[in-house]
Chains A and B, each alone.
Chain A
Amino acid sequence: MKFFSQTPNFDFMAQRKIALSISVILIIASLFSLATRQLNFGIDFTGGVIVEVGYPEAADLDTIRGQLSDNGFNDAIVQYFGARNDVMIRLAPREEDSSADLSGEVLTALRADGAQPDLRRVEFVGPQVGEELTVDGSLATIIALLLIFAYVWFRFHWKFSAGAVAALAHDVVITLGFFSFLHLEFDLTVLAAVLAVIGYSLNDTIVVFDRCRENFRRAAAGDAKATINRSVNENLSRTLVTSLTTLLALIALRLIGGEVMAGFSTALIVGVVVGTYSSVYVASPVSIALGVSRDDVMPPTDDGDRPSDGAVV
């Protein structure tokens, strides 16, 4: 089976202005959403308490809210978690040191009317831990981007580095924007997914760049735009196949992997789709815009016939 019987010949680079506008609009929308709606940070980051309880049959959220507010938990967020007999209660962090005991109090409140919900999960994260995570998480993302920039520079050229990192930043911002817009919970596993998106999207970009370099070196001369266009086209089948297999695995995880990993798989699904798009429409156009040319990728071990080499020995 083949996606294309012939090597496709889409003029991706001609569409790069349209693609650029779409990317810019998406990025602005994401940033706007991040600024106004913020990320719905999970307790991993904000601190607080989550109590997940399982009822023998479908539970009524209003009754539970009533039980909780009768016991002084007015700020409790109560929602179904995956199924109607599975309820998640989230409480904001409190000032008092006793917040670690909150889970016990919640359970007592829920059992007051004789119901016997089964305690499925308690998570308590102190505010200081959450703060550290936010710092570490941002730091991890930035350091990963810098190291990748350096590696691509070392292997290719800084113009490619810039293109790759622009594509990654694009993917991260849009994935975060997606989470912010839909108000999906952003927890530690989602952060891991975002970093995995960086890895995935990069993988894709590098494969395209590798082909660009090869085609640049092979072509005697030529227009950078045409060479890059050809490289993207030659790689198109591979890009689609790999994205598809990765998506198949992720969709399986999203559909039957359970509620705990839902955020993780959602973030990766969005990231893989955006990452595939960006390796075609963001990474390469940015390199073109920076004036990437054949000279930038000629091996340094050349025997001196490079026109740009000033020194003659």
Chain B
Amino acid sequence: MNQNSLWRWLLLAAVVLVGVLYALPNLFGEDPAIQISADSGEVLDDGFVSRVEAILSRADIEPVSVDIVDGQLLARMPGDTAQLTAAETLREVLGRDYVVALSLAPRTPAWLVGLGAEPMSLGLDLRGGVHFLLEVDAQSVRETAMERYMQEIPAFLRARDLRYTSRKIEDGQLVIALRDAATLDKAQAALSGEYRELSIGEASNQSDTLTVTLTEEEEQRILDFAVKQNLTTLRGRVNQLGVAEPVVQRQGASRILVQLPGVQDTTRIKDLIGATATLEYRAVALEGDPERAARTGIAPAGTQLFYERGTDRPYLLKRDIIATGNELVDAAATVDQESGSPAVSVTLDGRAAKRMFEFTEKNVGNPMAVLYKETIITTTYDENGEPQFEREKVEEIISVATIRGVFGKRFQTTGLTSKEAHDLALLLRAGALAAPIAIVEERTIGPSLGQDNVEQGRNATILGFALVVLFMAIYYKAFGMIANAALLLNVVLIVAVLSMLQATLTLPGIAGMLLTVGMAVDANVLIFQRIREELKAGAKPQEAIAGGYDKAFSTIADANITTLIAAVVLFIFGTGPVKGFAVTLSIGIVSSMFTAIFGTRVLVNALFGGRRLSKLPI
């Protein structure tokens, strides 16, 4: 009785092996490192590695290793000082085409990395850093859209000789009073045909009056556009900051989460978030020699000299602006329907469309350029390793294209590769008027607090674990030690699963793990009490073991499933730290079922099974 079959041993051994392997990377610590990525997003190659190695050896820095990881360069440094000096030097030499970031590279041995085992990353509360939650102002997005129609629709009506007597925006609706009922009908028909994104109805309280509102889909679409546009812009700027492992992601319908590990200076970061990029459509000057202007630095009257992004080719642009980013309604990468080649389709608002029409009418065959203007912030580190931010104005040409025909509101830029089309659409969107964003949540954790949190969390876990282990050993003797082994395996499994999921460890996560330690022994307590009861009822030791495990099972299952329900609800409704707590708790419940029931049974069978026993050490 109570013998282990081979498959039990194999299963337990497999789980222990996998658990230990995947939990292991968390023990190796991290190297100070430097991460370099190309600003253009291009993949770096081995040639770049030798270039960086050369730069470092000139600066007398001996890196631990220099490799390409996921298209980025990762140089491990022997210490913090070397890391800072190296970053400084590399920034100077490489210039603005590369982003040089300080980072911490896990010291996981290659054979573990080969198995896909990686350590958990520490949350901001444990390593220090800034967390922002930004919200795109949906109200103002809607208002801006309505303002545009306030200009556009009257012009549309005038062009069709449909007379109106007044127009105004009221409660977010555009209200247009028309001359008479006949005009109203015609206007309604014409507008419905042209503006499918609007819902056009008759006002209930006034005669001969139309109300124009955005359809729900259109509201969703423009909000979505505004959020995406802000995401693009923020990503670009955050990358420029040179912070390792930044997070910029959308959260819900109108929010953006920004997390910058290691950054402390929130004022500058707020400036950065608030800064806007814009763009201008301008004519390329046909007379004048841009090469000469580039050499002499003097541009002919009425023109300005700019360089093209990427190629650094000089161009002379006329000072007159045809359209600005504020007037850009939409920009998206598409496929040109005639040629089937990649293209960027652009939509302008009414006023800009009119100017564009007038300009293109006279300039078919001439080139037109898009000028991108942005204030970027570059980071340097002072002698204390504190980041310093500098503002710099950047003005670059991102596209030059020949005007093929006369157009106004909607047009396409063709002759691009698919990647170019994608990038141009992103840049156009980034430069379009950014919808206002407000910081709705900010959490900054100083590095000293992060360090304290790590230590306190670790100490509390060790103490809590030790107390529980001690109590179990005293109360249940040998069986208590078996439960303790299961408890240890449980912690290893939780860490392993969290590492596999690449979860971020936070302080509430540690608390969840500790709570699990306290509660996980419950299953063993239930089993052991049952065994004691069986023994008291006169069962032989072997029967008592089997009976105890059998009878306790359904109780354990019921109790754990109900707790799991609470944990899952916590996960669904929780945000940030609470979610982390719920994840650890859920994993802990499931893995404790395995370790406390199956794991201890294998050990109990191995130690006590199949033998004639007069009593059990329980």
Binding site for B on A (CB under 8 A): 1-2, 7, 52, 54, 97, 100-101, 103-104, 118-126, 128-129, 133, 136-137, 139-140, 143-144, 147-148, 151-152, 155, 188-189, 191-192, 195-196, 198-200, 202-204, 206-207, 210-211, 214, 234-235, 237-238, 241-242, 244-253, 255-258, 260-261, 264-265, 268
Contact = CB atoms under 8 A, between A and B. Distances in A.
Contact of B440 (A125, A152, A191, A234): A125
A188 B511 CA distance: 13
28 contacts: A1-B474, A52-B449, A119-B446, A122-B444, A129-B440, A129-B441, A133-B575, A144-B569, A147-B569, A188-B576, A191-B578, A196-B581, A199-B562, A200-B563, A203-B562, A207-B555, A241-B521, A245-B468, A249-B468, A249-B514, A251-B467, A253-B460, A253-B464, A253-B511, A256-B456, A258-B452, A258-B507, A265-B511
Contacts of B448: 54, 118, 120
Given A103-B266, A245-B518, A249-B464, 20 more contacts: A54-B448, A100-B439, A119-B446, A121-B443, A121-B449, A122-B444, A124-B439, A124-B442, A126-B439, A129-B133, A136-B575, A152-B562, A235-B529, A241-B475, A241-B521, A252-B461, A253-B464, A258-B460, A260-B507, A261-B511
Grouping DSSP codes into helix (H, G, I), strand (E, B) and loop, the B interface class, with mixed when no group exceeds half, is helix
Interface of B: 125, 133, 135, 264, 266-267, 270, 438-446, 448-449, 452-453, 456-457, 459-461, 463-465, 467-468, 471-472, 474-476, 507-508, 511, 514-515, 517-519, 521-522, 525-526, 529, 532-533, 536, 551, 554-555, 558-563, 565-567, 569-570, 572-578, 581-582, 585
A311 B464 CA distance: 56
B446 A234 contact: no
Contacts of A192: 508, 570, 574, 577-578, 581-582
Contact of B574 (A7, A140, A237, A260): A140
Given A126-B440, A248-B471, A206 B555 contact: yes
Nearest to B268: A104
Contacts of B551: 214
Contacts of A214: 551
A258 B561 CA distance: 31
B264 A119 contact: yes
A254 B445 CA distance: 21
Contacts of B266: 103-104, 122
Given A207-B555, A260-B507, A136 B467 contact: no
A207 B464 contact: no
A257 B555 contact: no
A203 B563 contact: yes
A186 to B, nearest CB: 13
Contacts of B459: 256-257
Contact of A125 (B441, B446, B562): B441
Nearest to B267: A104
A189 B508 contact: yes
A236 to B, nearest CB: 10
Contacts of B559: 202-204, 206-207, 210
Nearest to A272: B518
Contacts of B446: 54, 118-121
A204 B526 CA distance: 11
A155 B515 contact: no
A250 B511 CA distance: 9
A233 to B, nearest CB: 12
The 4 closest A-B pairs by CB, nearest first: A249-B518, A126-B440, A252-B464, A140-B573
Contacts of B439: 100, 124, 126
B34 to A, nearest CB: 26
Contacts of A198: 566
Nearest to A248: B467
A238 B525 contact: yes
B521 A203 contact: no
Contacts of B522: 203, 238, 242, 245-246
A261 B566 contact: no
A191 B558 CA distance: 24
A185 to B, nearest CB: 15
Contacts of B515: 196, 246, 249-250, 268
A100 B515 CA distance: 35
B467 A100 contact: no
The listed residue with most A CB atoms (<10 A of its CB), out of B452, B474, B529, is B529
A10 to B, nearest CB: 17
A8 B273 CA distance: 66
B442 A100 contact: yes
Contacts of A268: 515
B507 A261 contact: yes
A200 B443 contact: no
A123 B464 contact: no
A7 to B, nearest CB: 7
Contacts of B572: 140
A308 B266 CA distance: 71
Contacts of B125: 260
A2 B477 CA distance: 11
Contacts of B562: 148, 151-152, 199, 202-203, 206
A143 to B, nearest CB: 5
A101 B565 CA distance: 40
A133 to B, nearest CB: 7
A245 B460 contact: no
Contacts of B574: 140, 192
A156 B79 CA distance: 62
B464 A248 contact: yes
A200 B570 CA distance: 13
B134 to A, nearest CB: 10
A144 B475 contact: no
Given A122-B443, A200-B563, A210-B554, A143 B569 contact: yes
A152 B533 CA distance: 26
B518 A189 contact: no
A258 to B, nearest CB: 4
Nearest to A53: B446
Given A139-B573, A202-B563, A257-B456, A252 B443 contact: no
Contacts of A246: 515, 518-519, 522
Nearest to A97: B438
Contacts of B575: 133, 136, 188
Given A104-B267, A140-B573, A151-B561, A202 B566 contact: yes
Contacts of B465: 249
A256 B460 contact: yes
A237 B569 contact: no
Nearest to A261: B511
Nearest to A105: B267
A255 to B, nearest CB: 8
Contacts of B578: 188-189, 191-192
Contacts of A2: 475, 532
B505 to A, nearest CB: 14
Contacts of B471: 244-245, 248
Given A52-B449, A210-B558, A128 B475 contact: no
Contacts of A260: 125, 453, 507
A238 B526 contact: yes
The listed residue with most B CB atoms (<10 A of its CB), out of A2, A133, A248, is A248
Contacts of B514: 249-250, 252-253, 257
Nearest to A195: B570
Contacts of B518: 245-250
Given A195-B566, A246-B519, A237 B529 contact: yes
Given A104-B267, A245-B471, A144 B570 contact: yes
A97 to B, nearest CB: 6
B508 A252 contact: no
Contact of B577 (A118, A144, A188): A188
The listed residue with most B CB atoms (<10 A of its CB), out of A125, A151, A196, A244, is A196
Contacts of A261: 456-457, 460, 507-508, 511
Contact of B567 (A52, A101, A139, A199): A199
Contacts of A235: 529
